[in-house]
Amino acid sequence: METELPSIAILPVLFSPEQVIIALAVLIPALVIFILLLVSEGVFESVGLRFYQAVLVTTGALIGSLIDIPLLFVDESIIAVNVGGAVIPLLVTLEMIGRGRVSWWKSLIAIGMVTLVTHAAATPTPGLGITMPFYIAPITGAVAGLLLARGCRAAPGLAYAGGTIGTLLGADILNLANPAVFSALTTGGPTVLSIGGAGIFDGIFITGILAVLLAAYAGRGLRQKGGVCPQEGEG
């Protein structure tokens, strides 16, 4: 007499649910940073940097965003400057001006335009820092670059200079120079106030990337339609 036994399938389990969660927690941020690296390298090349320079600037901006250099000690608080969010954008802007990729006086105008807008839009928030809608500075920088660039050739560079340095001045420096704002931000005790610093996804770093992308995309569209940039081929 034959007895039928229930069959049990043996399925290989490569990873436990806990391992999958840990892997996703590591891989997703790594993927985001990798994509950001690729995009930002292309952005820095579009403003005139060579490939190796773009790689160095991108890597330096990401690593430098975690480094604050103390500048002033006010009572028990420290005013610091962030390497990735302030020093590197300043160096890139000076390099573009020094190499003649962007006009120095047009850069100053772009910076001034963004400074005024970001200062009006920035909101000092105790416990958080100085906050501002993320789209304001990139759009203002891109518009400034497009308006000031002859034939739109220098629009991405002017957008970067205006978007980054203008935001540093308008949102950070002018607010920190206001005693009432400084007092409100340090009311909770000893505080490090970092100019341009907010970690890897710092507003200044993202502003520069987005401003260049917007200016490049809009400028290309205008050229294709034969509108605002008819002199692009003249140099």
Domain boundaries, the chain: 17-225
Tell me the per-residue pLDDT of 182-230, one tens digit each, with 9 for 90 and over: 988 888 778 888 898 764 446 788 888 889 988 888 877 666 666 555 5
Tell me the per-residue pLDDT of 52-80, one tens digit each, with 9 for 90 and over: 888 888 888 888 888 999 999 988 899 99
* Length in residues, the chain: 235
State residue 197 phi and psi, 5-degree precision: -110, 125
Cα(149)–Cα(155) distance, rounded to whole angstroms? 5
Tokens describing residue 156: 């991405």
**CA neighbours within 13 Å on the CB side: how many for 199?**
4
Query: pTM for the complete prediction?
Result: 0.82
Specify which residues 77 forms β-bridges with. 74
Tell me the per-residue pLDDT of 71-116, one tens digit each, with 9 for 90 and over: 999 888 999 999 989 999 999 999 999 999 899 999 999 999 999 9
Q: What is the dihedral of CA 151, 169, 52, 152, to 10 degrees?
A: -10
**pLDDT on residue 234:** 37
Cβ–Cβ under 8 Å, residues 129 and 186: no
